[in-house]
Each structure stands twice: as structure tokens, then as C-alpha cells.
């Protein structure tokens, strides 16, 4: 399969997951529950989340397409599937069900999975591995936001 086809498929899957996660959060950031939480002072404005996730999913989709073309195997598919599941389910757990502690566990696991992607495949992909860094950095920020809410509410 050609690289651009893999990128398009990866974009569709990743943005589909974002859409599903958004649907599962049920207006989460706009609910009275979320607005009334003690939030971290470094919480970015709401519009930043949409911009960040758009950039992250574009970069991650390109990263994954390169990786898929280079090294398709069961471990890669499993890792991607776990990442996809955790990314989707966090929205439901945190925003819909208000399980802040479980949300923290989910986002920590997601951050670890993205770290595994980076450290397991950086030798194979070289500089293309930099494409996953926005995802990892954003997850570190998001984890700190979730942890702050967990500890202060």
C-alpha cells in the first residue's frame, strides 16, 4: 500500500476516534460539573484543546503510516489498538462518568503507550519519530491537569 493511502486511512481512524471520544464526553468541558471543578492554574483555554488535538492527530497519523509501512506486525497493531481505546475511553470515564481517579489511570496508561511507541520505534524511524512528540507532550500536560483535578476536588 502506498504511503499516502496509509496516511489517509490513519487520519480517518484517528479523527474518527476523536469524534467518538467527543461524542462520549457528552458536552463535558461545558457542563456545570466541569466548570465548577478546581482546575489547574495552567489549564489552557478551551479552544487550545481542539487545535492541539488536530495537530497531534495529523502528526500521529503520519508517524503511524510510516511505522506501518516499515514494520507491520501484531505488536504494532495491538499497541495502536490499545492507544485508540484509551484515547476514546478517557473522555467517557472523565467527562461523562466523572470518575476523575480512573480517568487519571487511563491517561497515565495512554501516556505510557505513546512513550512505548516513541522509544520502541525511534531507531527504525529516525527523525520521523519526532512526529509523535506533540502527542507525548500534550499527554504530559493533560495528565498534569487530570492529576490536579484529582488532588484538588
CATH topology for 3-152 is Ferritin (1.20.1260)
pLDDT per position as a tens digit, 50-85 = 999 999 999 999 999 999 998 878 889 999 999 999
Query: Taking the domains of the chain in order of start, what are their residue ranges?
Result: 3-152
Question: How high is the pLDDT of residue 1?
Answer: 78
pTM flag (> 0.85): yes
Rg (CA), the chain: 16
43 with 145: CB under 8 angstroms?
A: yes
Q: Any idea which of 21-35, 93-107, 130-144 has the lowest mean pLDDT?
A: 21-35
6/119 Cα distance (integer angstroms): 22
Find where cell 457528552 sits.
26
105/64 Cα distance (integer angstroms): 24
52/145 Cα distance (integer angstroms): 15
Q: What is the mean pLDDT of the chain?
A: 95
SS3 letters for 62-104?
HHHHHHHHHCCCHHHHHHHHHHHHHHHHHHHHHHHCCCHHHHH
Amino acid at each position: 500500500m502506498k504511503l499516502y493511502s496509509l496516511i489517509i486511512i490513519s487520519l480517518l481512524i484517528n479523527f474518527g476516534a476523536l469524534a467518538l471520544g467527543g461524542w462520549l464526553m457528552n458536552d463535558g468541558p461545558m457542563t456545570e460539573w466541569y466548570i465548577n471543578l478546581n482546575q489547574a492554574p495552567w489549564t489552557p483555554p478551551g479552544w487550545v484543546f481542539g487545535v492541539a488535538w488536530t495537530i497531534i492527530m495529523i502528526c500521529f497519523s503520519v508517524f503511524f503510516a510510516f511505522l506501518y509501512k516499515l514494520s507491520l506486525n501484531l505488536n504494532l497493531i495491538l499497541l495502536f489498538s490499545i492507544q485508540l481505546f484509551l484515547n476514546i475511553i478517557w473522555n467517557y470515564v472523565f467527562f461523562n462518568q466523572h470518575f476523575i481517579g480512573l480517568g487519571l489511570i487511563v491517561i497515565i496508561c495512554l501516556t505510557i503507550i505513546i512513550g512505548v511507541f516513541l522509544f520502541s520505534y525511534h531507531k527504525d524511524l529516525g527523525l520521523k519519530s519526532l512526529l509523535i512528540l506533540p502527542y507525548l507532550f500534550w499527554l504530559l500536560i493533560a495528565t498534569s491537569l487530570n492529576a490536579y483535578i484529582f488532588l484538588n476536588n
